[in-house]
Amino acid sequence: MVRMRRLRAGSNLRSLVRETAVTINDLVYPVFIKEGKDIKEPVASMPGIYQYSCDRFGWELERIVNAGIKAILVFGIPKHKDETGSEAYNEHGVTQNIIREIKKKVPDIIVIADVCLCEYTSHGHCGIISGNEILNDETLEPLAKMSVSLARAGADIIAPSDMMDGRVAYIRKALDITGFKNTPIMSYSAKFASGYYSPFRDAAQSAPSFGDRKTYQMDPANGREAVRECENDIAEGADIIMVKPALAYLDVIKKVSECTNYPVAAYNVSGEYSMVKAAALNGWIDEKRIVMENLVSIKRAGAGIIITYHAIDAARWIKEE
């Protein structure tokens, strides 16, 4: 008889042979910064997550640092929105200002700047529009201007999430010629048109005012296409590739990690977070156990970087191990 249970007999023995471990170094915490003063607004659909104004974010930044988290992903929410998303590349815009403030207070923390127009446009789409069409090539220039502006503010990593074709190459060229050749790009390479994003649209105030994003985000049914998207972004100059969402796309994370030798990030998105929090608040599940199991599954699938709203709690639980 093969006795597989021999290596499960005690906690120390199980730890000794454990194949996958999530560490605090794997975690990236997303934050939402809203233009204005004295703002700390709860996101109703994401228990425990808040929008902060720049002047109120210091408390949250301290909590992040004390948890041991070394990287954050920044989303800005401006007061002024227009059809072209011009606030996205305002040198004194909400995102640029908070990046400067964060780097002044905690120089060593890695600031990843999300690059997309959806939070900045009056129509909520990720690109320039003409009628009901989202224009690809016309969107590349504002994305590049936004990337350079965020790098100039102090962003350590530029993370385009718009899903326009060719944007990684366009951004890479813009960064290089403006003196940011050493600024990495973490591309949302395989970003699916997912129902799991709904709570995020409350948090970032970025719901589209018409139609949906299925003409530029990926069809959830396509796995092989996701690999091609990642390979394209690598060829264009991406340093890190991302799969989003995570839990419903573990097979895609696995394929991408096996087909490329690049760092792979996965975004444990708002809907995945909110379902766990809702069940935990109702007493239906053990929150710690479920969260850590989910994060281990993402790591086991092949993601070395996990962007998650659970990061602060997970960091605490990891320390308690």
| Widest Cα–Cα separation across the chain | 69
Phi-psi category of 205—alpha, beta or left, where left has phi over 0 and alpha has psi -120 to 50?
left
* C-alpha separations of 231 from 34, 237, 240, 248, 298 in Å: 35, 10, 11, 21, 20
* C-alpha separations of 200 from 14, 46, 113, 231, 272 in Å: 37, 8, 16, 27, 11
Q: Which of 66, 59, 62, 69 is nearest to 39 (CA)?
A: 59
8 Å CB contact between 148 and 155: no
181 an active-site residue?
A: no
244 an active-site residue?
A: yes
d(CA 304, CA 26): 6
**DSSP codes of every residue in 59-108:** HHHHHHHHHT--EEEEEEE-S--BTT-GGGG-TTSHHHHHHHHHHHH-TT
8 Å CB contact between 253 and 264: yes
Question: Among the options 34, 70, 191, 255, which is catalytic?
Answer: 191
DSSP tag of 36: S
Question: Among the options 34, 70, 244, 299, which is catalytic?
Answer: 244
Q: Is the peptide bond before 184 cis (omega within 30 degrees of 0)?
A: no
Q: Which of 247, 321, 315 is nearest to 23 (CA)?
A: 315
d(CA 269, CA 247): 9
d(CA 1, CA 172): 57
Tokens of 77: 């929410």
Active-site residue set: 191, 244
